[in-house]
Amino acid sequence: MSLVHQTNEGGQELAARSELTAKELLREVGSVLRMSEAEVAAMALEEIDPSTDQTMIINMGPQHPSTHGVLRLMLELQGETVLRCKPIIGYLHTGMEKTAEQLSFMQGGTNVTRMDYLSPLNNELVFSLAVEKLLGIDGDIPERAVWMRMLLSELNRMSSHLLFMATNGMDLGAVSMMIYGWREREQVLRFFQKVTGLRMNHNFIRPGGVAADLTPGWRDDVLHILDEVEPRLEEYDILMTGQPIWRERLQGVGVITSQEAIALSATGPTLRSTGVPWDLRRDQPYLHYDEMEFDVIVGSYGDAFDRYAIRLNEIRESMKIVRQILDRMPSGDYRIQDKKVTPPPRARIDESMEALIHHFKIFTEGFKVPEGEVYVAIESPRGEIGCYIVSDGTSTPYRLHMRAPSFVNIQCLPHMMRGGLVADAVAVISSVDPVLGEVDR
């Protein structure tokens, strides 16, 4: 029901607050401080009357230890309360999308893997899936490669969430949690080092399959990780989840509704914490996730505690998936036997002139990708990571764009922080878990 209120500018329609849509509310409340640095600096020079001027603008970051890298927040404060805020990004911008236009599809993996440096394998996976779709070979990838990709991306989700446990604990003063989180993540990284040769920035998942087969004894290594991490998660529950100080610190902090989260295009744990069961692994399955048995964890309050609990339980779900992968890992090729995409094995080069030519061509020119454009999205630990590639028929992408989940998710920060305390701002940033390498690209 709407009321009409007569003003000197004519009738104005009034509606109950509950009738406002999330979009109208977001606009009306105005949590975002839309002000440039120069404007803020000019304000500092103005004469102010301390009895009426109760707010101040301060900077948090980019060198603040709890802003997860080089995120800078301009906070408008009234006493200890945050009114408006503006996330300022770009301190880590290195033009990776421009660089991608210079690198061939063969080399592109080394570039994209450095964007979200906490889940590099998910970056490589989405890039490879997009290139394969452009090449039209997305149905021909050998089964072993597909299952290996799933195994690695789930382990990567575990390592990324374990690091979240560590940094979230550190930001809120639970320093012992920081050490435990890093300790468990180390187990996963050791496995990655064994299989891919590197702890981070692997360039292991490539268009056409994966770079190498699993190392002998990999099954025992994975089982060892699962056996180690599983009881440790129970310890986290004792240390954190049920602990009154931890709950006091997180519950009811940084609340966002599901309508707001959808309007702000938030994905991943940030969206799921509001009760929207949206997980691309279940809702738009890629690889063989449709054959996997797992639960999509959702929260109900949309606060920082829900986001913590979701990530903790997603580690358990990932372990469930990894166990199923262990049972079903097939044998066979680990990359497609298409000579235009996959370089020949080293031994063949000595025997065959053609193999030598293919090898030389692939590593100097790369392979040509038919003209077209494609958008592929997968579920990274932070949300929907999308890869939009335009090819003009040559061996380098004409345009490569990564839809980075953190870049979109940090738009929620002002709305989560409004009306909260400065001390809670730290908890809010931490609960969104942005990776600045991906935000700035």
Partner 1 sequence: MEQLHGCPTGESRGQATVFPSLGQYLPLLKKLADEGFNMCADLTAVDYLTHPGRPLPEGVSAERFELVVNLLSLDRRERMRVRVQIAESDVIASLFDLYPGTEAMEREVFDMFGLLFSGHPDLTRILMPEDWDGHPLRKDYEIGQIPVQFKQVNS
Q: Is 438 in the site for partner 1 (CB under 8 A)?
A: no
- Binding to partner 1 by CB under 8 A, coded x per residue (else -) over 168-187, reads --------------------
- As measured in angstroms, the least distance from the Cβ of 269 to partner 1 is 16
- Binding to partner 1 by CB under 8 A, coded x per residue (else -) over 84-123, reads -----xx--x-x-xx---x---------------------
Residues in the chain: 441
Q: Compare residues 384 and 433 and give the one whose CB is closer to partner 1.
A: 384
- As measured in angstroms, the least distance from the Cβ of 87 to partner 1 is 9
Give the distance from CA 294 to its chain's centroid: 20
- As measured in angstroms, the least distance from the Cβ of 264 to partner 1 is 4
- As measured in angstroms, the least distance from the Cβ of 276 to partner 1 is 7
Cβ distance 73 to 413 under 8 Å? Answer: yes
Which of 204, 278, 289, 305 binds partner 1 (CB under 8 A)? It is: 278
Euclidean distance between CA atoms 130 and 118, whole angstroms: 21
Give the distance from CA 28 to its chain's centroid: 29
Which of 124, 306, 384, 433 binds partner 1 (CB under 8 A)? It is: 384
DSSP-assigned letter for residue 345: P
Which window, 73-81, 194-202, 204-212, 390-398, contacts partner 1 (CB under 8 A)? 390-398
**Cα end-to-end distance, the chain, whole Å:** 47
Q: Compare residues 73 and 276 and give the one whose CB is closer to partner 1.
A: 276
Q: Is 398 in the site for partner 1 (CB under 8 A)?
A: yes
Euclidean distance between CA atoms 424 and 403, whole angstroms: 28
**Between β-strands 55-60 and 72-78, what pairing exists: parallel, antiparallel or unpaired?**
antiparallel
The residues near 353 (Cβ < 8 Å, ≥ 6 apart) are none
In 3D space, the residue among 433, 427, 382, 429 whose CA is nearest the CA of residue 405 turns out to be 382
Nearest-5° Cα angle at 238, 234 to 241: 100
**Between β-strands 2-7 and 372-380, what pairing exists: parallel, antiparallel or unpaired?**
unpaired
Q: Is 284 in the site for partner 1 (CB under 8 A)?
A: yes
Per CB under 8 A, residues contacting partner 1 are: 23, 26-27, 32, 34, 36-38, 89-90, 93, 95, 97-98, 102, 133-134, 136, 262-267, 276, 278, 283-284, 371-375, 377, 384, 386, 388, 390, 392, 398-399, 401, 403, 407-408, 410-411, 440-441
